[in-house]
Amino acid sequence: MRLSYSLGSLLTVEQVLACSKKLNEFKPDTVWIPETWGMENFSMLSLVSRENKFSKIGSSIINIYSRSPSLIAMGAATVDTISNKRLVLGLGTSSQPLVEDFHGDKFERPLKRMNECVEIIRLILSGKAVNYSGEIFSLKNFSLLIKPPRDAIPIYLAAVNQKMVELTWKIADGVIFYLRPKSEIKSTLASMQNQKKIDASLQIITCVNEDSEKAMIRAKKTLAFYVSVGKIYREFLASNGFENETKNIFEEYEKNGLQNNHEFVPESMLNELCIAGTSDECRIQLKQFRETGIDLPIIQFNPTDNVEDSFDLVTSTFSEGCD
């Protein structure tokens, strides 16, 4: 069965590379590298592709506001060359606070921007000269100076709300879901995959420790962070069964920051959204996520002890003995 790993924001550059190298033993489907406001994604993807020789190398995600479509296509062609045609290009809109406060752009018309970005990137990667006139972007006589190793690179879109989900199924090769209740995933996939089959991936906050409580606390802290700073996730979860929970987590965050607001994450919420516990418990939880219809689970690595020991435990939990 397919499995992939996400390495990133909680790790140093050296730790990401060490974990990527270790994954050569297990050959997961994809090694995903996130981008927040730390490590730059295309640089890391290039380095990871040199350490990991077997897996696809995925961006999760490239923000379509902080780079032009042409620059994204240039980065994609470069990484695909370096990795010997292993790139999976994950794109997303990010969020209003990150786009406006961190990058100084306006968070406007995300659906239209995404649609035009994907069109332009695909045209550029086809190797042809591009003349494009859209509502947001206009390009004249643009073509790459290098020949892309492939004329098409798989594009996956991060989708939360329904309109982005629908756009993803229209224009993308795959979807990257995150923080969705199992019942919601199941119903969404049943509806959307009926219309058109694309590769459905789900990134799952994952914490493994033989002290189950320690693993759950670590996962609750990560979940509370995303609920606190991610308005789009907070609103989505509030409208999908966790209105009181998200309200309590966010109110505590506004009063006292992130120090203790994970205490407002109930186990029922943790069990719906994350994988956390002992190795045996986590394998059962992964099976439950697979049963929603997801094609490609993405294990989002969250260390619970030192990084090397934690990653050894995570890979032995999910990958040892697997094809």
Tens-digit pLDDT profile for residues 286-318: 999 999 999 999 999 999 999 999 999 999 999
Q: Is residue 243 part of a domain?
A: yes
3 and 139 housed in the same domain: yes
Q: What is the pLDDT of residue 322?
A: 54
- Give me the CATH number covering residue 130: 3.20.20.30
Last residue of a domain, one of 115, 143, 178: 178
β-bridge pairing 62-63 and 56-59? unpaired
Give the C-alpha separation, 293 to 273, whole Å: 15
10 and 122 housed in the same domain: yes
Give the C-alpha separation, 220 to 231, whole Å: 17
Q: What is the pLDDT of residue 321?
A: 58
For residue 67, pLDDT beyond 60: yes
266 and 134 housed in the same domain: no
pLDDT digits (tens, 9 = 90+) for 234-289: 999 999 999 999 999 999 999 999 999 999 999 999 999 999 999 999 999 999 99
Last residue of a domain, one of 162, 178, 194: 178
pLDDT tier for residue 205 given thresholds of 50, 70 and 90: very high
Q: Is residue 283 part of a domain?
A: yes
Asked if 112 contacts 69 with a C-beta cutoff of 8 angstroms, the reply is no
From residue 70, alpha-carbon distances to 80, 292, 310 in Å are 15, 36, 39
What is the pLDDT of the chain when averaged over all its residues? Answer: 95
For residue 7, pLDDT beyond 80: yes
Q: Is residue 129 part of a domain?
A: yes
Segment 145-165 mean pLDDT: 96
288 and 222 housed in the same domain: yes
Segment 152-180 mean pLDDT: 98
The DSSP line for 119-141 is: HHHHHHHTTS-EEEE-SS-EEEE
Q: What is the pLDDT of residue 38?
A: 81
173 and 209 housed in the same domain: no
Q: Is the pTM of this model over 0.75?
A: yes
Give the C-alpha separation, 4 to 1, whole Å: 10
Q: Is residue 192 part of a domain?
A: no
Give the C-alpha separation, 121 to 79, whole Å: 14
42 and 144 housed in the same domain: yes
Q: What is the pLDDT of residue 100?
A: 74
Q: Is residue 166 part of a domain?
A: yes
pLDDT tier for residue 215 given thresholds of 50, 70 and 90: very high
Q: Closest Cα partner for 38 from 68, 7, 69? A: 7
The token pair at 221 is: 């802290």
Range of the domain at 297: 204-323
Give the C-alpha separation, 131 to 157, whole Å: 24
Asked if 65 contacts 93 with a C-beta cutoff of 8 angstroms, the reply is yes
Q: What is the pLDDT of residue 323?
A: 47
Give the C-alpha separation, 102 to 104, whole Å: 6
